[in-house]
Structure 1
Amino acid sequence: MTLFRLDASIRTEGSASREIADIVEAEWLAAHPGDTIERRHIGVDVLPADAWGHALAAGAVPAEDHTPEQRAAAALAARLVDELLAADAVLVAVPLYNFGVSQHVKTWMDLILTDRRAAPGSDPLLAGKPVVLCTVRGGAYGGGTPREGWDHSTGYLRRILADVWGGDLTVVEREFTLVGVNPALDDFADLAADMHQGAVASAREAGKALAGSRVAA
């Protein structure tokens, strides 16, 4: 069995989204020791920003007329789709950057959507496949907070992963990751600690469920 893991943090050390995803992965491996983990870290091994335009253009002309750039972009999009199709389960770790979707994740999704197997009208790419999204936010964006509604990432990710691609989605969230980093947030240390522990517990539950869903399938 194979778990595909996508990381989008620009950090390799001290990443809050990676911490939560690591817990999910550990639960998967506890249930499936020795299983394959296929990884793609798009926050570090960045996808080319111009690939989407070339892949999109490639879909409008016959293959024999593709430019080298179009050919390479279409092949990259196909590899990204292959990674998802080959996996038994999917784990995605995405931080909130500047109130929106990470550019790295947007490029990844846009490229995938150029492939005919993921195009609108095709069968859902992740139909019924278990997916865990681990997402973290530096501040607080819940109901009643000053920045309620400023998170323009999580809703979009839900829309693509679950509604467009058909994944059986579980979301693990953590807020106030900048407490202890930004002095302006020092008054929220206790609340942030509680949120951290809650996210860790949720990640363990999500990892167990992710592993169990493939056992039962």
Structure 2
Amino acid sequence: MATLLHIDSSLNGDASVSREVTRTFREAWEELHPGGTVIYRDLAADPLPHLSGLAYHAQSVPDAEQTPEQRAAFAPRLEVAAEVERADAVLIGAPLYNFSLPSTLKTWLDYLIMVGRNAYVENSPLAGKRVTVVTSRGGSYAKGTPQEGNDYLHPYLEYLLGGALGMSVEFIVPELTLARIVPAMSGLIEQADASRAQAHEDARSRAKALLAELGAA
């Protein structure tokens, strides 16, 4: 049976488009694979504390030489890393906030990344692991738009997850999510609705394809 690790980070609760699309993915996954396991982290409702110096530097100290304080500070990082390692697929809701990712998601990544264990290392336990990122955007950052090049979330996660950690990354991108909220964007409502609908379709298709790849569908 396959295990899905589902991470949400939006602050917007039921109004969140990224949560809406990750939910569609998860529901499709569970419908096709009812006997599987889903591990869920809501980083907005239950955020990890910012990474401390003690927790950061403990990764460079051999286990036998760690102090009790270092072991206690390092334990949550080991838990996060093991959670990702155990998962067959990872689903991340990552809305674009102020041109980058939510601070809660950055903190989760700070816990996860360990040079020598899973980053910049041969035979990483995360190599090739399938991760789907739903990155919603209030506007559009596509080529030719006024905001082209100002999305620093997509390239960051693409490099970090796919490059440093060696995971197999795909993005689902619902755009123009503020079109029904911001009056100046009212002319973009049709495009926004189409982008949102496509994101839901992509989420369902991605869940089905991943389960087929894993031999679980």
Q: Are residues 1:18 and 2:19 paired?
A: yes
Q: Report the TM-score when normalising by structure 1.
A: 0.91
* Mapped partners of 1:38, 1:115: distance in 2: 24
8 Å CA contact retained: 1:130, 1:213: no
| Higher deviation after alignment, 100-109 or 171-180 | 100-109
Question: Which amino acid is 1:13 matched to?
Answer: D
* Mapped partners of 2:76, 2:14: distance in 1: 27
8 Å CA contact retained: 1:58, 1:66: no
Identity of aligned residues (%): 37
8 Å CA contact retained: 2:33, 2:216: no
Deviation at 1:116, TM superposition (A): 4.3
8 Å CA contact retained: 1:172, 1:206: no
Deviation at 1:208, TM superposition (A): 1.1
Corresponding residue for 2:74? 74
Corresponding residue for 1:106? 106
Q: Are residues 1:30 and 2:31 paired?
A: yes
* Mapped partners of 2:140, 2:198: distance in 1: 14
| 1:73-115, Cα deviation, whole Å (9 max, x unpaired) | 3101100011011111111111001001221121111221237
Cα distance change of structure 1 residues 168 and 120 upon mapping to structure 2, 3 Å threshold: closer
Cα distance change of structure 1 residues 119 and 201 upon mapping to structure 2, 3 Å threshold: closer
* Mapped partners of 2:139, 2:159: distance in 1: 22
Cα distance change of structure 1 residues 183 and 73 upon mapping to structure 2, 3 Å threshold: farther
| 1:39-90, Cα deviation, whole Å (9 max, x unpaired) | 11112211101x242222223445545362x333310110001101111111
Corresponding residue for 1:200? 200
8 Å CA contact retained: 2:120, 2:165: no
8 Å CA contact retained: 1:135, 1:172: yes
Question: Which amino acid is 1:194 matched to?
Answer: A
* Mapped partners of 1:104, 1:147: distance in 2: 24
Count, aligned residues = 215
8 Å CA contact retained: 1:124, 1:164: no
Deviation at 1:120, TM superposition (A): 2.7
Q: Secondary structure at the match of 2:120?
A: coil
Q: CA RMSD in A?
A: 1.9
Corresponding residue for 2:92? 92
Q: Are residues 1:156 and 2:149 paired?
A: no
8 Å CA contact retained: 1:129, 1:167: yes
* Mapped partners of 2:47, 2:3: distance in 1: 23
| Higher deviation after alignment, 175-184 or 145-154 | 175-184
| Higher deviation after alignment, 96-105 or 147-156 | 96-105
Question: Which amino acid is 2:53 matched to?
Answer: G
Corresponding residue for 2:142? 142
* Mapped partners of 1:129, 1:59: distance in 2: 22
Q: Which runs of 5+ in 2 are unaligned?
A: none
* Mapped partners of 1:115, 1:80: distance in 2: 14
Deviation at 1:166, TM superposition (A): 1.8
Q: Report the TM-score when normalising by structure 2.
A: 0.91
Corresponding residue for 2:47? 46
Question: Which amino acid is 1:80 matched to?
Answer: V
